[in-house]
């Protein structure tokens, strides 16, 4: 299952040239650029770990430095999600202007939507991450690995 968070998430993965183009666009608009990574991409996990410090007041011609950091983060965390965030510091806005995933793990687990009906027709929803472990993949419905119940 492909995780879809941020801009461009429904498109094929961006090439380094396309990522550099988005970084240049961000810098041209005066936005600060940062890189973050995580293994937990639950939709409510808004706080990913920062890779280095945000790049404030960076010239558009220095986009290669940020792309170099993206590559270093990929190398350090090959099985994590990595995203680039552009922050607009203008008064009255002060928010993320652009955010997109630049690296994904080799296997994306995804989430299952679990619905529970409570009293008074109240529905409760929760997202449960799929666990893709070798033992879970080979276990039978009775919980044993070989299907015999032993």
Domain count, the chain: 1
DSSP 69-108: HHHHHHHH-TTSEEEEEEEE--TTT-EEEEEEEEE--SS-
Is residue 25, in this structure, part of any structural domain at all? yes
Identify the pLDDT of residue 131: 67
Is residue 64, in this structure, part of any structural domain at all? yes
**DSSP conformation class of 30:** T
Residue 1 has pLDDT above 80, yes or no: no
Find the domain containing 27 and state its range. Answer: 16-103
Is residue 117, in this structure, part of any structural domain at all? no
Cβ count within 10 A of residue 138: 11
Mean pLDDT value of segment 15-31: 95
Identify the pLDDT of residue 138: 36
Is residue 130, in this structure, part of any structural domain at all? no
Close Cβ partners of 81 (under 8 Å, ≥ 6 residues apart)? 3, 37, 38, 39, 41, 48, 101, 103, 104, 105
Is residue 116, in this structure, part of any structural domain at all? no
Is residue 91, in this structure, part of any structural domain at all? yes
Cβ count within 10 A of residue 55: 21
Residue 111 has pLDDT above 80, yes or no: no
Is residue 133, in this structure, part of any structural domain at all? no
**Confidence band of 77 (pLDDT split at 50, 70, 90):** very high
Output the pTM of the full model: 0.72
Q: What are φ and ψ of residue 59, in 5° steps?
A: -75, 150
Are 52 and 69 spatial neighbours (Cβ–Cβ below 8 Å)? Answer: yes
Is residue 66, in this structure, part of any structural domain at all? yes
Identify the pLDDT of residue 23: 96
């Amino acid at each position: 299952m492909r995780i879809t968070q941020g801009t461009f998430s429904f498109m094929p993965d961006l090439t380094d040239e396309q990522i550099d183009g988005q970084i240049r666009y961000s810098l041209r608009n005066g936005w600060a650029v940062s890189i973050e990574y995580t293994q937990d991409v639950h939709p409510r996990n808004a706080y990913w770990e920062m890779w280095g410090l945000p790049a404030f007041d960076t010239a558009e011609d220095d986009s290669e430095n940020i792309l170099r950091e993206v590559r270093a983060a990929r190398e350090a965390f090959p099985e994590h999600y990595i995203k680039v965030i552009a922050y607009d510091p203008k008064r009255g806005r002060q928010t993320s202007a652009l955010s997109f995933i630049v690296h994904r793990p080799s296997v994306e687990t995804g989430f299952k939507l679990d619905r529970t009906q409570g009293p008074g027709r109240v529905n409760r929803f929760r997202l449960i991450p799929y666990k893709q472990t070798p033992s879970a993949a080979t276990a039978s419905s009775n919980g044993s690995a070989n299907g015999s119940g032993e």
